[in-house]
Amino acid sequence: MILFRRELKRNVKALVIWSAALGALVFIMMSVFTQMAQEAELLEQLTSAFPEGLHRVFGMDTLNMASVLGFYGVEVYSMTTLFGSIYAAVLASGILSREQSEKTIEFLLSKPVTRTRILTEKLAVVALNLVIFNLVIGLASAISFLTLQSQEVEWSRFLLLTFAQFLLHAAFAAACFFLSSFISRSRTILSVSLGLVLITYFVFVAANLADTLHFMLYLTPFHYVDAADILESGTFNVLSVTVIPLILVLGTGSAYVIYNRRDISV
């Protein structure tokens, strides 16, 4: 618990900043919806402002922008998934590699603590931070639904969406944690982790835009938590519930294996 408390304290500032920023973003976006719900023309203007191809990327072809969850799925969810994934990547890639780049790892390893425990306590902090972060986004969304507009909300679908978003963040965290178990230069690991998020997001956009690239959707985690699919079906599809847990298990599991075998020196 010593490491857990220490990391919790060390990462609290970033958690507060990211949670506040995305919570505020949710409110701002939802107040745009309030404006538009009053004037249907505005909504059409907004929809037509997007090129045709992008409609599919943001689910505008399936989702009804005039309904609150439809708008949320298109406008808000695409932001919170992307920015949240960036937060998850920065958090998870730094928590372990920072000990090495700041050369404090020799201090830590000389203490009576196993490498497995180091990883477990650090992972627990990542998990807790992501839970809190997603709770804040979820709460901000729920409050904005209740205060900024008058439509009925299908809460079960909203919860599903929030859970999907959490799974996506966790998947990126697991992947970046895995990478940081063997890449320890701080600049390299940060670029690689951010690159992973941005490239998979780009693949998601590109594969939705071009039919010939459609198969590439399976390569990007964003596809497995696609708001249009989840809000339409009201459930996760089989691939999503297989692939994301697999990333979580393989990512963290191989981090343990690699880190325990590695030679560590500064």
Q: Which one, 43 or 105, has the nearer CB to other proteins? A: 105
Radius of gyration of the chain (CA): 20
Q: Spell out the long-range contacts of 109-114 with Cβ–Cβ below 8 A and sequence spacing 24 or more.
A: 109/264, 113/2, 113/3
Residues 100 and 195: their CA atoms lie apart, in Å, by 21
Q: 72: which DSSP letter?
A: I
Supply the minimum distance, in Å, between the C-beta of residue 177 and other proteins. 20
**Number of residues this chain uses to bind other proteins (CB under 8 A):** 19
**Which position among 48, 53, 102, 191 is part of the footprint of other proteins (CB under 8 A)?**
102
Binding part of the chain for other proteins, among 59-67, 103-111, 121-129, 146-154 by CB under 8 A, reads 103-111
Structure tokens belonging to residue 54:
């992008």
As measured in angstroms, the least distance from the Cβ of 109 to other proteins is 5
185 near other proteins (CB under 8 A): no
Residues 6 or more apart in contact with residue 213 via CB below 8 angstroms: 206, 207
Cβ atoms of residues 60 and 209 within 8 Å: no
Q: What mask, x for binding other proteins by CB under 8 A, covers residues 227 to 266?
A: ----------------------------------x-xxxx
**Token pair listed for 76:** 């808000």
Stretch that binds other proteins, among 59-67, 72-80, 100-108, 236-244 (CB under 8 A): 100-108
What does the block give as tokens for 44?
A: 């059409």
CB-based contacts of 233, cutoff 8 Å, min separation 6: none
Say how many CA atoms lie within 13 Å of 43 toward its Cβ. 19
Distance separating alpha carbons of residues 115 and 171, to the nearest angstrom: 22
The answer to the question of residue 51 lying near other proteins (CB under 8 A) is no
Which residue stretch of 47-55, 102-110, 125-133, 146-154 sits at the interface with other proteins (rule: CB under 8 A)? 102-110
Convert residues 6-25 into a mask of x (bound to other proteins by CB under 8 A) and - (unbound).
Answer: x---x---------------
CB 9 → other proteins: shortest distance, Å? 9
Residues that bind other proteins (CB under 8 A): 2, 6, 10, 102-104, 106-107, 109-114, 261, 263-266
